[in-house]
C-alpha cells in the first residue's frame, strides 16, 4: 500500500471491502439480497480515510465542499470493483486517485479565492505581503497619521466591499464560473 498518496487504509475499510466481495459472490443469484451490497458499499464509502480522518468522522461542511461531488464516482468504483473481483490493492489505488482529484480541486479553489482576494485588495489600493508560508498571508495597509508618518499595521477595510473583504468571501462566479 506504499504507492497510495492520499488514501489512508484502515481496518474497517479493508474488511468491508472483503465482506462486499463475499456478499457479491453469495448473493449474485439472489436479487432480493442485492440491497445488502448497496448498504455495504455505503459503509465502505464512510470509512474511506484521508488527512487523518474518515468521511464518516469528517466535518460535514468539508465533506460537502470537497468530496460530495465525487460520491457517485466512489460508489461506482466500489460497485464495479466488486463485480469484477478487483484485488484490494488495485481498488485502493483507484480510490486514492479520486481522493487526489478531490484534493487538487480543493487546492485550486483555495488558490482562486486567494487570488481574487489579492486582486480586490490591489484594486482598493492595498498591498498584500506574504508571510513566507504558501498557504496563508498577512495583509497590511499603509496608515498615514497626522504627522505624515507612514507605518504598516493590520487593517480592516471600510466601504461597500469591506464586509466581504474582511470575511474573505468574494463574488467571483461571474468571471470564473461556479466555485
User: Tell me: the pLDDT tens digits for 9-34?
Assistant: 989 899 999 999 998 888 877 877 77
Instruction: Report which DSSP code applies to 7.
Output: -
Alpha carbons within 13 angstroms on the beta-carbon side of residue 49 total 10
Quick one: pLDDT at residue 27?
82
Written as nine digits, the cell of 5 is 498518496
- Using a cut of 0.75, tell me whether the model's pTM lies above it: no
CB 23 within 8 A of CB 37: yes
Bridge partners for 128 per DSSP: 139
Question: How would you classify the pairing of strands 137-144 and 150-154?
Answer: antiparallel
Q: pLDDT tens digits for 42-85? A: 999 999 999 899 999 999 999 999 999 999 999 999 999 998 99
* Closest by CA position to 5, among listed 104, 109, 108: 104
* Closest by CA position to 75, among listed 23, 40, 34, 49: 40
User: At 150, phi and psi to the nearest 5?
Assistant: -95, 145
- 128 pLDDT band, cuts 50/70/90, is low
* Closest by CA position to 144, among listed 161, 125, 128: 125
Amino acid at each position: 500500500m506504499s504507492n497510495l498518496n492520499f488514501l489512508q487504509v484502515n481496518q474497517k475499510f479493508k474488511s468491508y471491502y472483503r465482506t462486499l466481495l463475499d456478499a457479491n459472490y453469495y448473493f449474485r443469484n439472489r436479487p432480493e439480497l442485492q440491497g445488502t451490497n448497496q448498504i455495504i458499499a455505503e459503509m465502505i464509502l464512510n470509512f474511506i480515510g484521508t488527512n487523518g480522518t474518515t468521511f464518516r468522522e469528517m466535518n460535514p461542511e468539508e465533506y460537502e465542499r470537497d468530496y460530495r461531488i465525487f460520491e457517485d464516482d466512489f460508489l461506482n468504483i466500489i460497485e464495479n470493483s466488486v463485480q469484477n473481483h478487483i484485488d484490494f490493492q488495485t481498488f485502493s489505488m483507484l480510490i486514492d486517485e479520486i481522493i487526489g482529484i478531490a484534493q487538487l480541486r480543493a487546492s485550486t479553489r483555495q488558490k482562486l479565492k486567494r487570488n481574487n482576494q489579492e486582486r480586490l485588495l490591489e484594486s482598493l489600493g492595498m498591498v498584500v505581503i506574504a508571510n513566507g508560508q504558501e498557504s496563508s498571508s498577512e495583509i497590511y495597509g499603509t496608515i498615514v497619521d497626522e504627522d505624515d508618518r507612514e507605518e504598516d499595521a493590520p487593517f480592516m477595510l471600510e466601504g461597500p466591499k469591506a464586509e466581504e473583504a474582511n470575511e474573505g468571501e468574494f463574488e467571483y462566479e461571474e468571471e470564473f464560473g461556479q466555485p
